Amino acid sequence: MSGVVLYSVISLTVMGAAFGFGLALAARKFAVERDERVDRIEDMLPGANCGGCGYGGCIGFARALVEGKASPYDCSPGGVETANAIAELLGLEKIEKTPTVAMVACRGGNRVPIKMKYAGLRSCTALALLADNLHECSYGCIGLGTCVDVCPFDAIRLVDGVAVVDDDKCTGCGKCIDACPKGIISLVPKTKKVRIACSSHDKGKAVKAICDVGCIGCGVCAKNCPVNCIEMVDSLPIIDYEKCINCGICAAKCPTKSIVDRVVTRPKVFIDSQCTGCGECKKVCKFKAIEGEPGERHKVIRDRCIGCGLCLDVCPEKAISVAGALGHQPGK
């Protein structure tokens, strides 16, 4: 009996060894060789796994890059420097890509009267399935923080019932855009600091009745833009950022402050003794911030100057310089 058992054990052992050997051979034969560049690229990526590139995390993006299915510049969190390093590794042409940040086109929030009481799931998406908004403005930010929840970089917070983006933290991954049921978040060039902060397509009277910072569609911004980069579309201004020079005139002229100027330090101007009194600066100033008689040295009325810089460009004597600053407070 013991001989039979011993034979069975030996037989099973031999069969197991043969089976394992066969699996090893099969694994070697059918193994897919892993490109070492995938690991190197994954190490170069920020590791946020945000999905903004459109692939399943950084490893999925790395594979897509090696396979030629993606561009290194599709990774917003990595920035241009990382993208250029990956391009060099893959033998691709390096390009300059302007970093982008998310922008919430609304400043209403708690400024807008509440339309309904809601005690359900704290989710903008859930609320949007039941009604268009918590507030009287059907276009604005719902304010329940779905964009805050999905942001992998802690770059969005709620301030007075409306989402506010921190430009320093935002990487432009776009997850908040996909999460917003109102479609009021978009990506803008990080270097462009003048932004439309309203999404309402209602007429001016209807907007003024519920929101003191909403766009009334007056078109003053478009009329005063020195480079014609603003177009009124369906009662809202649209900025062409390829033309925008960040002068801030539109924001300063906007009667409801629905255009926000995010320039941290905006200079004032000063006219020195080289001024010949030609008056060119006076002609281009849209705020009547320069005074003086022809042939005499002109001077700047500092309380009116917004530091747009138009006068610097037209002064033939280069007698205008900048001094001082005008700041912007995020969330205000």
Average pLDDT rounded to a whole number, residues 198-213: 96
Q: What is the pLDDT of residue 21?
A: 55
Out of 1.10.10.10, 3.30.70.20, 3.40.920.10, 3.40.50.720, the CATH code matching 266-326 is 3.30.70.20
Local structure of 136: helix, strand or coil: coil
Give the Cα separation of 261 and 259 in Å (integer): 7
Pick from 57, 35, 37: nearest CA to 47: 57
- Structure tokens belonging to residue 124: 């903008």
With cut-offs at 50, 70 and 90, classify the pLDDT of residue 79.
confident
Q: What is the pLDDT of residue 234?
A: 94
Topology at the third CATH level for domain 100-261: Alpha-Beta Plaits (3.30.70)
Q: Where are the domains of the chain?
A: 36-90, 100-261, 266-326
Give the Cα separation of 128 and 113 in Å (integer): 17
With cut-offs at 50, 70 and 90, classify the pLDDT of residue 22.
low
With cut-offs at 50, 70 and 90, classify the pLDDT of residue 327.
very low
| CATH architecture, range 36-90 | Orthogonal Bundle (1.10)
**Does residue 329 carry a pLDDT above 50?**
no
SS3 content of the chain, % helix, strand, coil (to 5): 35, 15, 50
With cut-offs at 50, 70 and 90, classify the pLDDT of residue 80.
confident
Average pLDDT rounded to a whole number, residues 166-171: 93
In 99-170, the DSSP E strands lie at 100-104, 156-159, 162-165
CB 158 within 8 A of CB 164: yes
Instruction: Provide the pairing of β-strand 100-104 with 185-189.
Output: antiparallel
Least confidently predicted of 45-59, 92-106, 186-200, 210-224: 45-59
CB 20 within 8 A of CB 26: no
Tell me, what amino acid is at 16? G
Output the CA–CA distances (angstroms, integers) from residue 301 to 289, 291, 306, in the order listed.
5, 7, 10
The two domains 100-261 and 266-326 share their CATH topology (first three levels equal): yes
With cut-offs at 50, 70 and 90, classify the pLDDT of residue 324.
low
Segment 263-311, tens digit of pLDDT: 877 778 899 999 999 999 999 999 999 999 999 999 999 889 988 889 9
Q: What is the pTM of this model?
A: 0.76
Q: At what angle do helices 57-66 and 36-44 cross, to 10 degrees?
A: 130
Residues in the chain: 332
* Residue 72 burial (CB count, 10 A): 26
